[in-house]
Each structure stands twice: as C-alpha cells, then as structure tokens.
C-alpha cells in the first residue's frame, strides 16, 4: 500500500462504503438511488456541504448557488460531494431571537457531521448566528472542515447616498420619529437598502463573524468580505471545495487550527475591525467547545493594545463592499501583523503569515495605517463593577465620546414589554442625562438574550434632537448598532444579578477609561434589595425552550449549553468506529 492508499484507507467514509459485506452493500446501494455510479465509492473522500440555505433567511438565500461552486471544486480535486441542510437562523424573521437557537443549530451541525459518512465538511454560512453555530458544531465534531461565508450584500444606495443595513435604518428611523423624514422617503429607503443576496453590509455581526472565521484560520484567505453577488465569491467557494479534499486526506481537523494562538488572532482582528459585541459571546462559546477558557479580561487586554484600522460603519464611514475593494481582511491583518501570531496554522495548510504574503491595501480611507488608526484602542471594552460583577461590554468605537465618563439618574424598565409600553410616553420622567436601564433581557430573562440592548431614545428627546444616551441592559445589541450602550451585564437580572436591584432614581456611573460600571448605592442597600429579589416565572415548561432554560450559561461563558462545552472524551469524530445497526 503506498501512502496515498493508506490515507484513503483511513477515511471515515470507508467504514460505510469500503466494506464488501451486507452493510457496505446497503450504504452504497441506497445512495445509488440518487444516480451515482460505483466509481464514486472507490475511495474518493466524501465531502459534506453543510448548507444553511433557506428562503426564510434572506442572507443565506444564495447558498445553493455557492454549494454548486463548492461541488465543482470537490469533484475536480477527486472528492465526492454530498450537500445536506441544517436549520437556518434568519436574523430578521426568527423570533424572539436567533440567539435562542444558535446552540440548537450547532447541535444539528455537530450531529449531522458525526452521524454521516463524511471525511470533510464545507460550512456554508452567512447570517449572524449561522457562522458561530457552524463553527461550534464543526469544532465539536472535529472532522476536517473549511468555512465558506456567503459574503455581504452590495451596498445600499439611496438618492446617490451609500446606506448600510441596520445602522442607517436606525438613523433614518429616528429622523422619521422626529418628523424630519417623510413616509415616502422612508418607503424609498426600504426598497434600496438591501440590493442583493448576502448578509448585512456594515461591520455587523455577520461581517464580524466571517472575518473572525478567517482570522481563526477556518477559511481561505480573503474569503470573508467578497460581496455575495461578486463572481469571486463563487470562485473562492470552488477553491474551498478543492482544498477540503486535500484537508480530508491530510486529516487536518479543527482541533489543529483552533488553538489559543488562533483565538488571540481572532480577538485582535475583532478589535481592529471594530467588530460586533456579539463576537465576544460567540468566541467564548467556540473556545469552550475546544476545552479552552477565554475570560473577558483577555478581550479587554487585547483591546487596549489594538488600534481600530477598519473605517467601517457603525464605527466609521464605509461599507463591506468598499472594504473588499480596499483589500479586505488580509489587508487589515497585514496592517496589524506585528500583533498577530503569524505561525498559527490555517485551513490552507500554511501559517497565517504565509497567507498574508500578497495582502495589500488599495484605499487608505477605508483601511487606515497602523500608525494612523481610526481609533487608538480596540472597538470593544469590558466593564466591571458592582453592577456587573462578571462583566459587561460596550463598543467604544461606536459610542459618543462625551458619554464615556458619565453619571446619571436611572430610568428603569423591568422588561421589554414595559419598555415598549412606556418609552414614548410624553409623561416619562427622563432627560438626556439619564441612564436608561432594561432588565430581564438576558439569556434566561428574555429568553435568548435578544438584541434589545439598543433601547430607542424616548420620542420626546428624539424630537428635541437627542441622538445618544447611556443605555444599560443584560441584552445584546446588533452589530449594526451604535451609541453609548452597555450590554451583556452579567449575571443577568433574571438570575438575581445586581441589575435586578436597580430602581428608578438610582445613580449609575459609567467610566469607560477605568472600565467601571457602578450602581451608586450603599453596599448594604444593594444586599438588602437582592435578598428581597424573587426570580421571574420561567418562560417554558416543555420542549427545546425548557432544555434551553435548564442548561444555558451566562454571557461571560458564551451562552453555550453547559453539556456542550469541552471535548468529547470518547472518540466520536474523525476516525471513530461504529457498529452497524440492524437494517
Ligand atoms: Fe442576516 Fe443582518 S440580517 S446578517
């Protein structure tokens, strides 16, 4: 047997298709119902194309075309592609929040990879949660995997003005509420803000997670930011199809790529691109899948020493399409390369530093030089204090400078219903110096930790021209959000965190330079209030919701399920054996 035969003999799929017994017959014969000849079973690596395509998820609605490009590459490299679906998490339509279902999708991905005869997997993602869910599932299954993000939409254009998803929608909505934008203009914007297939056009969560997948080494270089409608998106998918066949034969698994160095690179990149606050939750969860603790302090440490160089909304001016044309993520990584672990291994089989050899920046307005960055510190900071003993986060790159040190009177909303009912009440006792507080919007409280943290400015203040206030909650915010918004307050109110004890009129201090978030009441008073606290009624008493409530971890632990963290003790992935069940 030569070495190539040996590698083929070790493929997982040979346990299904490589046997001449009754079981091998069954596996081949039933799959031949799809019209395959016997040639496909002669030792070609079987490549699963894990597709989160769905018409309910517009961001991923083009992924069947992407899958065809992947298949071309797999066939060309001597593999045997088989596409399979998983659930898909469409950020805009799925309620109460896609975050409620991220772990469910991760389980779907993990178990499909493990249960089927796959030697390698191509992960097709796009919308916010589909990327971390696939990475988490693939990390746990630990079969060779490469990610192909779907890419961003073309930039929105309205009356000659580039507009970005989410970010500009919020800006225009405030103009509508203030009476400065007409209903007709608002309708026009609706028709031209989403001009093609693909995910949101700003450095929101989807763009951030695609960039972090690349920074982790889980995609080909340059794969994160090519627009969905650009032919190079399909060419990159085809190339990924070719590459996964070799990865399967090399047994290059996620566990060799998702190292501590890879995570440090991903955090650096997150800070340099002004990435979504959601990235912190997802990276912590992913690290947990490979048995690695990633404390919030690590994010803050890296944030302090990483400049923001990507001038993209919501932190800056430009959109993802501009980012791609300016050189994209490779150009950013080259810019901050003195800070990166350049030896970290990637899916290309080469180190990060090798992949960046040809990276270049073509537009200094979009990607700033390391020496003259957009911001001198990273996009996201981690806060601590008696209001957030286990941490909270704030995107300082998209906050108002004058509010980064601020003390104000709390205006408290007990939950989202309370917020909706009272926020725009003309009699609400609020002014622009107040701190808006939303409780019970965390992992258990909402449930699912929705993106409710971008509390709207009360209508009467919007009309008076107020555009930002300090807002605090245990919710998340969209990556497209902007403003001085503290989120992920941990522990959340619904499990008795100090946030639960805040009352109207309390004074709250936010001090970003010192990374502090304090409720300015005596310690004894805080203890007394928390002793009197009673948990809210659980939202579910059956089904997936019950499982979620019983096992969901807090934000500082990535909101994964407790039983999904860590590596599988018994081999269940790449070369695990199985006994044939009765047919
Ligand atoms: Fe899918 Fe924004 S709604 S990425």
Q: What pLDDT digit, counting tens, does each position of 334-347 carry?
A: 999 999 999 999 99
Q: What is the mean pLDDT of residues 36-59?
A: 97
Averaged pLDDT for residues 373-399: 96
Choose the residue to mutate in 57, 60, 94, 128 for probing ligand 1, maximizing ligand atoms within 8 Å of C-beta.
Answer: 128
* CA 471 vs CA 62, 257, 455, 505: distances in Å: 37, 38, 7, 15
Confidence (pLDDT) at 583: 40
Percentage of residues of the chain with pLDDT beyond 70: 97
pLDDT at 3: 80
- Take atom 3 of ligand 1 and give the residue whose Cα is closest: 91
Q: Which residues line ligand 1 (CB under 6 A)?
A: 59, 91-92, 127-128, 165, 199-200, 204, 206
Nearest atom (ligand 1) to Cα of 90: 1
Quote the pLDDT of residue 499. Answer: 98
Q: Hey, is 515 helix, strand or coil?
A: coil
Q: Per-residue pLDDT tens for 406-448?
A: 999 999 999 999 999 999 999 999 999 999 999 999 999 999 9
pLDDT at 567: 79
Q: What is the pLDDT of residue 1?
A: 72
- CA of 529 from ligand 1 middle (Å) equals 39
- 437's enclosing H/E stretch is strand 435-438
- Within 10 angstroms of residue 389's Cβ, the number of other Cβ atoms is 15
Determine the atom of ligand 1 nearest the C-alpha atom of 165: 2
Mean pLDDT of 46-57: 98
Tell me how far apart the alpha carbons of residues 191 and 203 are, in angstroms, rounded to a whole number.
21
- Alpha-carbon distance of 472 to 413, in angstroms, equals 10
* Residue 34: band (very low, low, confident or very high) from pLDDT cuts 50, 70, 90: very high
Residue 575's pLDDT band (cuts 50, 70, 90): very low
Query: Which of 94, 102, 206 gets mutated to test ligand 1 (max ligand atoms within 8 A of its CB)?
Result: 206
Pick the closest to residue 298 from 213, 381, 386 (CA basis): 381
What's 44's DSSP letter? Answer: P
Average pLDDT, the chain: 95
Cβ contact 129:101 at 8 Å: yes
pLDDT bin (cut points 50, 70, 90) of residue 2 is confident
- Kindly give the distance from the C-alpha atom of residue 561 to the centroid of ligand 1, in angstroms, as a whole number: 24
CA distances from 572 to 233, 381, 567 (A): 33, 38, 10
Report the pLDDT value the prediction gives residue 572, as an integer from 0 to 100: 47
Taking CA atoms only, the protein residue closest to ligand 1 atom 2 is 200
For residues 462-469, give the mean pLDDT.
94
What is the spatial distance between Cα 516 and Cα 525, in angstroms, rounded to a whole number? Answer: 20
Measure the CA–CA gap between 290 and 426, rounded to whole angstroms.
Answer: 51
Average pLDDT of the segment spanning 98-117: 98
Ligand 1 center from residue 236 Cα (angstroms)? 21
Output the CA 152–ligand 1 centroid distance in Å. Answer: 9
Q: Which domains does the chain have, with CATH numbers?
A: 156-194 (no CATH), 382-532 (3.50.30.80)
Q: How many CB atoms lie within 10 A of CB 424?
A: 16
d(CA 8, CA 480): 46
How far is ligand 1, taken at its centre, from the CA of residue 206, in Å?
Answer: 6
Closest atom, ligand 1, to C-alpha of 57 = 1
Contact yes or no for 580/23 (Cβ under 8 A): yes
Using alpha carbons, select from 405, 452, 393, 397 the residue that is nearest to residue 433: 405
pLDDT above 80 (res 573): no
Nearby residues of 263 by Cβ (< 8 Å), 6 or more positions away? 216, 283, 286, 287, 292, 294
For residue 432, is the peptide bond before it cis, meaning its omega torsion is within 30 degrees of 0? no
Q: Is the pLDDT of residue 246 over 90?
A: yes
Among 52, 57, 59, which residue has the most ligand 1 atoms within 8 Å of its CB, making it the best to mutate? 59
Bridge partners for 395 per DSSP? 380
Going by C-alpha positions, the residue among 276, 299, 173 that lies closest to residue 482 is 276
Mutation pick for ligand 1 pocket among 169, 200, 201, 479 (CB with most ligand atoms within 8 Å): 200
CA of 485 to the centre of ligand 1 (A): 20
What is the distance between the alpha carbons of residues 71 and 270, in angstroms, rounded to a whole number? 31
Lay out the sheet containing 145-149: strands in order across.
80-85, 46-51, 120-125, 145-149
State yes or no: pLDDT of 570 exceeds 60.
no
Task: Name residue 84's beta-bridge partners.
Answer: 50
Q: How far is the CA of 7 from the centre of ligand 1 (A)?
A: 40
Q: What are phi and psi of 508, to 5 degrees?
A: -125, 135
For the chain, the distance separating the N- and C-terminal CA atoms, rounded to the nearest angstrom, is 33
Average pLDDT over residues 52-77: 98
At residue 576, the pLDDT reads 45
**pLDDT band for position 569 (cuts 50, 70, 90):** low
Query: How remote is the CA of residue 346 from the centroid of ligand 1, in Å?
Result: 26
> Among residues of the chain, what percentage have pLDDT more than 90?
95
- Rounded to an integer, the average pLDDT of 224-232 is 98
pLDDT band at 387 (very low <50, low <70, confident <90, very high): very high
Q: What is the pLDDT of residue 580?
A: 57
pLDDT at residue 374 greater than cutoff 90: yes
Q: Are 463 and 174 in contact (CB under 8 A)?
A: no
Residues 576-580, mean pLDDT to the nearest whole number: 53
Task: Write out pLDDT tens, residues 163-174.
Answer: 999 899 999 999
CB 110, CB 88: distance < 8 Å: no
């Amino acid at each position: 047997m030569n070495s190539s035969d040996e590698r083929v003999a070790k493929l997982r799929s040979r346990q299904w298709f490589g046997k001449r017994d009754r079981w091998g017959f069954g596996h081949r014969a039933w799959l031949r119902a799809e019209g395959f000849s016997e040639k496909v079973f002669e030792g070609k690596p079987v490549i699963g194309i894990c597709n989160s395509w769905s018409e309910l998820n517009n961001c991923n609605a083009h992924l069947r075309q992407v899958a065809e490009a992947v298949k071309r590459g797999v066939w060309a490299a001597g593999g045997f592609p088989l596409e399979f679906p998983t659930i898909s998490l469409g950020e805009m339509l799925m309620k109460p929040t896609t975050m409620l279902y991220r772990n469910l999708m991760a389980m779907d991905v993990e178990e499909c990879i493990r249960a089927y005869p796959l030697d390698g997997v191509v992960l097709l993602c796009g919308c916010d949660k589909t990327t971390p869910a696939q990475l988490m599932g693939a990390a746990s299954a630990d079969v060779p995997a490469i990610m192909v993000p779907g890419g961003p939409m073309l930039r929105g254009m309205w009356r000659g003005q580039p507009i970005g998803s989410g970010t500009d929608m919020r800006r225009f909505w405030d103009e509508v509420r203030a009476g400065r934008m007409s209903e007709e203009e608002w309708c026009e914007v609706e028709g031209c803000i989403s001009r093609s297939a693909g995910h949101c056009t700003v450095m929101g969560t989807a763009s951030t997670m695609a960039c972090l997948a690349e920074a982790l080494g889980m995609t080909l270089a340059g794969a994160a930011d090519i627009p969905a409608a650009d032919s190079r998106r399909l060419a990159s998918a085809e190339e990924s199809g070719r590459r996964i066949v070799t990865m399967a034969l090399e047994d290059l698994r996620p566990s060799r790529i998702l190292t501590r160095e890879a995570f440090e690179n991903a955090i650096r990149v997150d800070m340099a691109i002004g990435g979504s606050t959601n990235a912190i939750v997802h990276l912590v969860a992913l690290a947990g899948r490979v048995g690695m603790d990633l404390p919030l302090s690590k994010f803050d440490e890296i944030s302090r020493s990483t400049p923001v160089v990507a001038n993209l909304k919501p932190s800056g001016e430009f959109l993802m399409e501009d980012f791609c044309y300016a050189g994209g993520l490779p150009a950013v990584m080259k810019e901050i390369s003195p800070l990166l672990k350049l030896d970290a291994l990637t899916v290309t089989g080469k180190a990060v530093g090798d992949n960046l050899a040809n990276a270049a920046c073509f537009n200094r307005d979009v990607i700033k030089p390391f020496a003259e960055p957009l911001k001198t510190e990273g996009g996201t900071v981690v806060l601590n204090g008696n209001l957030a003993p286990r941490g909270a986060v704030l995107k300082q790159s998209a906050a108002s400078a004058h509010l980064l040190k601020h003390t104000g009177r709390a205006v408290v909303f007990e939950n989202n219903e309370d917020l909706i009912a009272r926020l725009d009440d003309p009699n609400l006792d609020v002014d622009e110096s107040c701190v808006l507080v939303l409780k019970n919007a965390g992992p258990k409280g909402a449930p699912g930790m929705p993106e409710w943290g971008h509390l709207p400015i009360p209508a009467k203040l919007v009309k008076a021209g107020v555009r930002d206030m300090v807002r605090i909650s245990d919710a998340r915010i969209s990556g497209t959000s902007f403003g001085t918004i503290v989120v992920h307050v941990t522990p959340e109110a619904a499990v008795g965190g100090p946030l639960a004890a805040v009352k109207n009129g309390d004074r709250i201090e936010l001090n970003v330079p010192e990374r502090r978030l304090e409720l300015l009441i005596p310690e004894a008073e805080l203890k007394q209030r928390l002793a009197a606290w009673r948990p809210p009624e659980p939202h579910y008493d059956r089904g997936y919701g019950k499982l979620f409530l019983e096992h969901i971890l807090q934000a500082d632990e990535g909101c994964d399920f407790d039983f999904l963290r860590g590596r599988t003790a018994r081999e269940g992935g790449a070369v695990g054996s199985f006994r044939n069940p009765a047919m």
